[in-house]
Amino acid sequence: MFKLIQSLFQSPRFNPGVRVNRFHKGSIDRVDGRVVAQTAEGVLVEWPRFGTGWERPQTLCQQV
Protein backbone atom coordinates (compact mmCIF):
# COMPACT_ATOMS: atom_id res chain seq x y z
CA MET A 1 0.00 0.00 0.00
CA PHE A 2 2.85 2.38 0.83
CA LYS A 3 4.44 1.87 -2.61
CA LEU A 4 1.15 2.73 -4.31
CA ILE A 5 0.84 5.99 -2.41
CA GLN A 6 4.50 6.80 -2.96
CA SER A 7 4.19 6.21 -6.71
CA LEU A 8 1.50 8.90 -6.96
CA PHE A 9 4.04 11.57 -5.97
CA GLN A 10 7.02 10.44 -8.05
CA SER A 11 7.95 11.81 -11.46
CA PRO A 12 7.46 9.39 -14.33
CA ARG A 13 10.58 7.55 -15.52
CA PHE A 14 11.32 7.00 -19.20
CA ASN A 15 13.89 4.60 -20.63
CA PRO A 16 16.16 5.77 -23.46
CA GLY A 17 14.67 5.04 -26.87
CA VAL A 18 11.04 5.24 -25.73
CA ARG A 19 8.71 7.27 -27.97
CA VAL A 20 6.79 10.06 -26.25
CA ASN A 21 4.28 12.85 -26.89
CA ARG A 22 4.19 16.18 -25.05
CA PHE A 23 1.15 17.85 -23.52
CA HIS A 24 1.00 21.64 -23.28
CA LYS A 25 -2.02 23.53 -21.94
CA GLY A 26 -4.27 20.49 -22.15
CA SER A 27 -3.48 19.28 -25.66
CA ILE A 28 -0.72 17.40 -27.45
CA ASP A 29 1.63 19.87 -29.11
CA ARG A 30 4.57 17.62 -29.99
CA VAL A 31 4.50 14.00 -31.15
CA ASP A 32 6.90 11.15 -31.92
CA GLY A 33 9.74 12.29 -29.68
CA ARG A 34 12.42 9.80 -28.73
CA VAL A 35 13.87 9.85 -25.20
CA VAL A 36 17.64 10.25 -25.20
CA ALA A 37 18.22 10.41 -21.43
CA GLN A 38 16.60 11.30 -18.12
CA THR A 39 18.35 13.09 -15.28
CA ALA A 40 17.37 15.13 -12.25
CA GLU A 41 17.14 18.13 -14.62
CA GLY A 42 14.45 16.50 -16.77
CA VAL A 43 14.07 14.33 -19.85
CA LEU A 44 16.18 14.95 -22.95
CA VAL A 45 13.94 14.31 -25.97
CA GLU A 46 14.81 14.36 -29.66
CA TRP A 47 11.84 15.74 -31.63
CA PRO A 48 11.54 15.12 -35.39
CA ARG A 49 10.67 18.77 -36.18
CA PHE A 50 11.95 20.73 -33.18
CA GLY A 51 15.39 19.26 -32.55
CA THR A 52 16.55 18.10 -29.13
CA GLY A 53 15.41 19.70 -25.89
CA TRP A 54 14.86 19.19 -22.17
CA GLU A 55 11.31 18.47 -21.03
CA ARG A 56 9.65 18.05 -17.64
CA PRO A 57 8.68 14.40 -17.09
CA GLN A 58 5.15 15.42 -16.03
CA THR A 59 4.43 16.88 -19.49
CA LEU A 60 5.29 13.66 -21.37
CA CYS A 61 3.32 10.50 -22.05
CA GLN A 62 4.72 7.31 -23.47
CA GLN A 63 3.35 6.03 -26.78
CA VAL A 64 1.99 2.50 -26.77
2 compared with 53, residue with greater pLDDT: 53
Prediction pTM value: 0.82
Q: pLDDT per residue over 3-36, tens digit each?
A: 777 666 778 999 999 999 999 999 999 999 999 9
Among the listed residues 29, 11, 9, 19, the one whose alpha carbon sits nearest the alpha carbon of residue 61: 19
* Calculated CA dihedral for residues 18, 64, 12, 40, nearest 10 degrees: 10
Q: pLDDT per residue over 27-64, tens digit each?
A: 999 999 999 999 988 999 999 998 999 999 999 999 98
